[in-house]
Chains A and B, each alone.
Chain A
């Protein structure tokens, strides 16, 4: 899952980026409000962690501006402003969650997973499709009750497809989900990962829509 982190404090930003990476997120880190606004509008993130006291543009302004531009991704505000009025302003201003510093990295990750899950209309903790169960918190995939060993990229790819079950995702969209800035992306990386997933989980799970991308067809038993 690729998220945007907007935090101007170098030490905290560095820590959050490293910590969230450990917990399976791809993290792009920007240090001011203008950059945050630009990246949120340009790129396809599953969620954003937004500090409010950002230079050049306040976090709340960033939020209002991207919401006006129709960006729907879940945004978690992480700030030192703890007054109730601040929380209300933040949530009413378009934030999906409001967390006061300091925060436990695991809690932050769990909140982000919950936000992503809800944003995709998935009330359950685990994603299920065609007998494949994906547990985002444990980063575990089981098929017919048996664990399936997946690489980080394979897991992220499957996670993205399962979250967006029933939608076709382009190769670029999937790449964006898999790689953060500064990471080398092979031109056929997505194809390679899809190939591996099919080998491990069977051919019928992920379908190719020629010229468009990949999709995971909802199993008939799945709700929605």
Chain B
């Protein structure tokens, strides 16, 4: 049963057959009730009429002489019908099957009208009446079971065809349902036959309109998965491409170290090998960050203090800048709140500041500004590094474009990461030549949070 309910065909079949049987039974019940009512009325009328006849006849016979008569049985149904005629309390006339005593409830006086009484354990429908002068009493009775058998005969003739038709109907309904859900089976077969990695849209010839939304949803899903897989493939290809140079460097340096007899030169090659490993590790981290960003899961945005976040990142990177004798300055206004994901924003800020420090020469200047502006919150990172030419600025953001020739190994993924993190926060990212310092100027602007109290601070 439970299994049948899990099959669409089983459900439909059970529903249809159940409803049909229900409707039939209801029809039968109504027929029974109706027939019984009509039958009762008809037969009661006959009883009443028969009683009236007997009263009239008895009135005439009184004049002819008074004697008890048993009437003959003329029909096989006659034993089921009985009558009695009493004259002045004495039985004057009765049918063969009628008792000697009145067919009224024992000890009761005659009451005109219909009632059902039990005589020798058999239920009788009895009509009682009396003549105009109350000396003649007439009882006409009929076994209730005879009425029931008529009723049953009528019902049988109604229900028999139904009982015969039910299995046929079940077969027909089963066939109809089977053909009705054929498109579903076709869809199932088409899905089962698809290669595991097939992502082309599914087309089903002659698919019914009810299945169109399902097919469209399915094809939409296929398209999304295909896009996701294409992006994954692209990522894998990009990652392989990006990793080739660092690995080539590690390999070359390791081979140099192996073949080098001179200790100082071997040490140099080994240090370079280690450096290459660090670089590859950093690159992998960047690639994974980018991959997570491209997977498209929207970050959970919470209200956070951008100034504090930037302060922490700059504090983290500052020692390296100082090692390179660079000057790094932070000017962070209070109350610069943005909606964001702390981890992602830290990645963004770290990429910008790290980029400025990494590509800046010794003694370069790096300034970081966080400020509230009337319509936005601004993060600005400027440096006095080598900057970029116009064409380099234009190519920036092409996924594999690196800022090259800086003497520092970079992957060029940093800017891609910055742009994607910014986009995920509805922030804009712009990079231009720094007028003040001569290097790069990167500006990230977050839309101002409307609910925050308007600040009087104005960025300069």
Contact = CB atoms under 8 A, between A and B. Distances in A.
A15 B272 contact: yes
Contact of A11 (B240, B244, B272): B272
Contacts of B272: 11, 14-15
A105 B279 CA distance: 21
B241 interface: yes
A16 B252 contact: yes
B72 interface: no
A28 B409 CA distance: 20
A18 B408 contact: no
Nearest to A31: B405
A18 B265 contact: yes
Contacts of A88: none
A106 to B, nearest CB: 8
Interface string B403-423: 011011100000000000000
Main secondary structure of the interface of B (DSSP, over half): helix
SS class, residues of chain A in contact with chain B: loop
Contact of A9 (B245, B256, B268, B400): B245
B275 A8 contact: no
Contacts of A14: 249, 253, 272
A8 B255 contact: no
Nearest to B392: A55
A100 interface: yes
A104 interface: yes
Contacts of B247: 101-102
Contact of A55 (B244, B248, B405): B405
B409 A103 contact: no
B276 interface: yes
Contact of B260 (A18, A55, A56, A101): A18
Interface in A42-56: 53-56
A55 B392 CA distance: 9
A181 B276 CA distance: 26
8 contacts: A9-B409, A15-B251, A15-B253, A15-B256, A15-B272, A53-B400, A55-B404, A102-B244
Interface of A: 8-12, 14-16, 18-19, 22-23, 31-32, 53-56, 78, 80-82, 100-106
Interface of B: 240-242, 244-253, 255-256, 259-260, 265, 268-269, 272, 275-276, 279, 400, 402, 404-405, 407-409
Minimum-distance CB pairs A-B, first 4: A15-B252, A55-B404, A102-B248, A12-B249
